Amino acid sequence: MKMLPVYDLSRLPENTALKQQTLPAHRLNLSASAVLSIFFATGGFCLSMGIILLLSAKSTKKIEINYTKICVNCYKLREDSSNFDKECNCSVPFYLPEKMEGNVCMYYKLYGFYQNLYRYMLSRSNSQLLGKDIWDTQNCSPFQLSHNSTPIIPCGAIANSIFNDTIILSYNLNSSIDIEVPMLKSGLAWWTDKYIKFQNPRSTDLASTFAGSAKPLHWAKPIYELDPDDPGNNGFINEDFIVWMRTAAFPTFKKLYRRLNRVGYFAEGLPAGNYSFNISYNFPVTKFQGEKSVVLSTLTWIGGGGLFLGLTYTVTGALTLLASFAILAINLMLKRSKKYFL
């Protein structure tokens, strides 16, 4: 005689509507006209938004100056002579054909620099950056310790490779007078990065807090002396540092470097005329066949003048409208065939 299996009744789910999956449910039963209305409305909205965003992006004024080849000879001379303590300074003149009105931002742009490598992105210490444990270098390989086994702060490959060119914009007021364009170092980083993801240790004296540590290999100054003009812009909350630590998704990218301080001659923006970038060339790119540029750009109501968002909306709207017309055609064909058979 075959024995029936014995079940443990204590393990059965309770006899409730939730656990027995008998809760009342509502099933949408949309008609063809309702579906078509939703598709056409979505497609029309996305296409309209895409066109508006593209026109807005096209209205921005932008100028890009590639200074790789202009300044690289100076850097090669410094490398050949092994005189790395000597600064490599070069001047890049350019002409601004028309006025840039309103808020103007300065970006640095890198070509061929891969910040999206997996091991590169992991080489950092979030405990350090949050100011919780500044001596934690566990995940920072291969930039954990200096040559004399001193902990590096900030550690990791991202921090070690920070963009360290210094760029100053000058305006040629007349044939004999050049004035420095006032730029702001604040308001560069995302709010969440500045006030949540990056924090200094709770100390009034950062120099004593970081005593006994080593600066990254390619840094000229320690973390607590990055901005001598603004004591509140030092340590892990330095905005240039925060901007660099947010890694880019593509090998060609630009990052916000400075914002125009609209005072004096520049209250309305950058006037047309002759300018020059005075650059301290420190960030090497020729070894990986990369390039560097400076970008000046005005802003729109959605921020910068990138075309990606507008193109995304436009393509999505166009595809949705094509799908809507296809569904409409199929629906009409089915209705005709139904009438024919009846």
Cβ-contact 282, 49 below 8 angstroms: no
- DSSP assignment letter at 218: T
Q: What pLDDT does 74 receive?
A: 66
Rounded Cα distance between 237 and 328, Å, is 56
Q: Three-state SS for 191?
A: helix
pLDDT of the residue at 75: 61
Angle, to 10 degrees, between the axis of helix 32-58 and the axis of helix 308-341? 160
Residues lower than pLDDT 70 in the chain: 1-9, 74-87, 304-305, 338-342
Predicted local confidence at residue 309, as pLDDT: 85
Q: pLDDT by residue (tens digit) across 301-318?
A: 777 667 888 899 999 999
Please tell me the pTM assigned to this model. Answer: 0.80
**pLDDT recorded at residue 335:** 79
Q: How far apart are CA 197 and CA 189, in angstroms?
A: 11
SS (H, E, C) 125-170: CHHHHCCCCCCCCCCCCCCCECCCCCEECCCCHHHHCCCCCEEEEE
Burial of 217: CB neighbours in 10 Å, binned 0-12, 13-18, 19+: exposed
Q: Please write the tens of the pLDDT for every residue from 33-67.
A: 888 899 999 999 999 999 988 888 888 888 999 99
CB distance 278 to 170 below 8 Å: yes
Radius of gyration in angstroms for the set of CA atoms belonging to the chain, rounded to a whole number = 29
